[in-house]
Amino acid sequence: MANLQAAPRFIRACKRLPVDRTPVWFMRQAGRYMKEYRELRKKYSILALAKTPELACEVTLQPIRAMPIDAAIIFADILLPIEPMGARLRFAPGPIIDNPVRSASDVKRLKNFEPREGLGFVLKAITLTRRELGATPLIGFAGAPFTLASYLIEGGPSDHFLKTKAFMLEQPKAWDALMRKVRAITADYLKAQVEAGAQAVQLFDSWVGCLSADQYRRCVLPHSRFVLAALKKSGVPVIHFGTGTAGFLEDFASAGGDVVGVDWRMDLDAAWKRIGPRAIQGNLDPTLLFAKKTVLKAAVKDILSRAGSRKGFIFNLGHGILPKTPVGNVEAVVDWVHERRLN
C-alpha cells in the first residue's frame, strides 16, 4: 500500500483519494444467488467450503469472473473463530451453537487461541486467492465483538436478543470478560489476515442495531474501538460496518476505521454529515435488487447523487445480497455505478 497513486480505485477510495469512477462491491457477493455457488453447495456444506482453502478461493473468485466488481471478499463465515474457542457450531441450515454462553463460568471455559493455527485454513485461502486475483484487491473480514458475543449467548440468530441483553445488563463483569476475550481474538485474526495477503479488512457488526445508544456506548464501543485501534498499524484500509446504527451513528463512527459502512435506513448524504470527513460505504437496500430495473436504476442514481463529488465513496448494499437475487440486476448495478466518470 506504499504507492497509493498506483493503487486500485477501491483502495484509493478507502483512503479518500481521487478515483476515476466510483468503486463497487457487494457484501455476500459470493453466495446463494449465483448458480456456480449453488452447484458447489450440492456437494459441500458451508463449513466444508469455508474450511477447504481451494474451495473458499473458488467461491471468492466466482463473482469476480462474472462481473467487473472492484474488490473481492474472502469466502468465510463470521462464526469460524468461535469453534477454536470451544463452541460447538453446526448449521441446520442456519447456525446453531449447542453449548451457548449463559454464565461467568461459561465465559471462563472459552479458550484463547492463536488464529494462525486455529484458523489457518482461512489464511491459506487468502494467500491462494491473492495469487489468482491479479489487480483486484482482496478484503478480509471478521465479526465484531458484539455480534460474535450475541451468537455465543443466544445460541444462534435472534430477533430480539433477549438473552444477550439480559446477560449484558445483569452480568456486567461476565459480559466484560466475554467481550475482552472475543476482541483480543478478533484483532489477532484480522492482523493475521493482513499478513496472509488481505489488502483491506472489514469488521462486521451485523446485530449492533438492536442496542440503544447508551447500551452501545457503555457495553460495546470500548471493545470495537480496541479491535479497530489494533489494526491502525496494519497499513491496509479498515471498514467498520454495522446495521441499524442510525440512532448512534456518531458513536459508532468514533470507534474507528478508515471507512464507515451504513445501511439503507438513513440517507447517504445525511449519514456523511454526521460522520464528518471519513470515507463511507453503502447503502442500497438489498431488497431493491429484486425490483424492476427502472426502479433499481433510480435508486442507484439517487445514492450516487447523494455521494456527489465527495472523495471516499464506495458503493455497496446496506447489508448482504439476499438468496434468489437476480444476477442480472447485480450486474446492472455494477455497470450503472461505473458509467459515471468522476474526473
- Could you read off the pLDDT of 178-194 as tens digits, one per residue? 999 999 999 999 999 99
| Long-range pairs for 268-274: beta carbons < 8 A, 24 or more residues apart | 268/303, 268/306, 268/307, 269/306, 269/307, 269/308, 271/246, 272/306, 272/307, 272/310, 274/249, 274/250
Q: Where are the alpha helices (H) located in 42-161, listed in sequence order?
A: 46-51, 53-66, 104-109, 115-118, 120-133, 145-154
Of the candidates 16, 21, 37, 41, the residue annotated as catalytic is: 41
Residue 4 — very low, low, confident or very high, per pLDDT cuts 50/70/90? confident
pLDDT higher than 60, residue 1: no
Q: 321: which DSSP letter?
A: P
Residues in CB range of 338: below 8 A, 6 or more apart:
21, 22, 24, 68
Q: Name the helix (H) or strand (E) containing 142.
A: strand 138-143
**Percentage of the chain surpassing pLDDT 90?**
96
Q: 112: which DSSP letter?
A: P
Active site residue 180: no
User: How many of the other CB atoms lie within 10 Å of CB of 80?
Assistant: 20
Give the separation between CA 207 and CA 218, rounded to whole angstroms.
16
Active site residue 265: no
Of the candidates 33, 151, 189, 216, the residue annotated as catalytic is: 151
Active site residue 9: no
| pLDDT given for residue 3 in this prediction | 63
Q: 312: which DSSP letter?
A: S
Q: Report the mean per-residue pLDDT for the chain.
A: 96
18 prior amide bond cis, ω within 30:
no
Residues in CB range of 56: below 8 A, 6 or more apart:
49, 50, 74, 75, 76, 121, 122, 125, 129
Of the candidates 12, 33, 70, 77, the residue annotated as catalytic is: 77
Give 225-242 pLDDT, tens digit per residue.
999 999 998 999 999 999
Residue 154 belongs to domain with CATH number: 3.20.20.210
* Edge-to-edge order in the sheet of strand 279-284: 72-73, 138-143, 200-205, 238-242, 259-261, 279-284, 313-317
Give, in degrees to the nearest 5, the angle at Cα 179 between 178 and 180. Answer: 90
Instruction: State the cell numbers at 244.
Output: 441499524
Active site residue 310: no
Give 131-186 pLDDT, tens digit per residue.
999 999 999 999 999 999 999 999 999 999 999 999 999 999 999 999 999 999 99
pLDDT higher than 60, residue 303: yes
Tell me the residue range of the domain where 248 lies: 4-339
Of the candidates 16, 21, 32, 217, the residue annotated as catalytic is: 32
Active site residue 278: no
Give 187-219 pLDDT, tens digit per residue.
999 999 999 999 999 999 999 999 999 999 999
Of the candidates 12, 28, 130, 183, the residue annotated as catalytic is: 28
Count of domains forming the chain? 1
Q: 47: which DSSP letter?
A: H
pLDDT higher than 50, residue 266: yes
The answer to which of 90-94, 282-286, 325-329 has the lowest mean pLDDT is: 90-94
Give the separation between CA 252 and CA 300, rounded to whole angstroms.
25
Total-model pTM: 0.96
